[in-house]
């Protein structure tokens, strides 16, 4: 996706004109999106700190949030590592 399309999609999401944003790990850091209510991970990141950054998009500034991660039997060791952070 071209940068201008990414920026347009992000703008729509931030203004609540779009309720769903599909993103890569690029969106895990550095984006200020204050009202993200749910983060769904379609995979478990290789590093626990990357998981923390992903789910950190929700529950900001004292608000609640929900994180859902789709896990396979091959991901269990990564999930356990994330719990220790």
CATH of the domain at 26: 3.40.50.300
Q: What is the pLDDT of residues 10-28, one digit of tens each?
A: 888 888 877 888 887 777 7
Q: Does the structure show a pLDDT above 90 at 4?
A: yes
Q: What is the pLDDT of residues 74-84, one digit of tens each?
A: 888 877 776 76
User: Rounded mean pLDDT of 60-77?
Assistant: 84
The average confidence (pLDDT) of the chain is 81
Asked if residue 11 is part of any domain, the answer here is no
Asked if residue 62 is part of any domain, the answer here is yes
Asked if residue 6 is part of any domain, the answer here is no
Structural domain harbouring 57: 19-83
Asked if residue 1 is part of any domain, the answer here is no
User: Rounded mean pLDDT of 35-56?
Assistant: 83
Asked if residue 79 is part of any domain, the answer here is yes
Q: What Å distances lie between residue 53 and 18, 46, 47, 73, CA to CA?
A: 22, 12, 10, 23
Q: What Å distances lie between residue 82 and 20, 51, 78, CA to CA?
A: 25, 7, 6
Please count the structural domains in the chain. 1
């Amino acid at each position: 996706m071209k940068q201008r399309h990414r920026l347009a999609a992000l703008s729509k999401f931030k203004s609540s004109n779009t309720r769903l944003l599909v993103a890569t790990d690029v969106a895990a850091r550095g984006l200020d999106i204050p009202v993200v209510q749910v983060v769904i991970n379609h995979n478990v990141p290789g590093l626990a700190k990357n998981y923390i950054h992903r789910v950190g998009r929700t529950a900001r500034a004292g608000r609640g949030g929900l994180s859902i991660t789709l896990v396979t039997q091959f991901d269990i060791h990564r999930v356990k590592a994330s719990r220790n952070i």
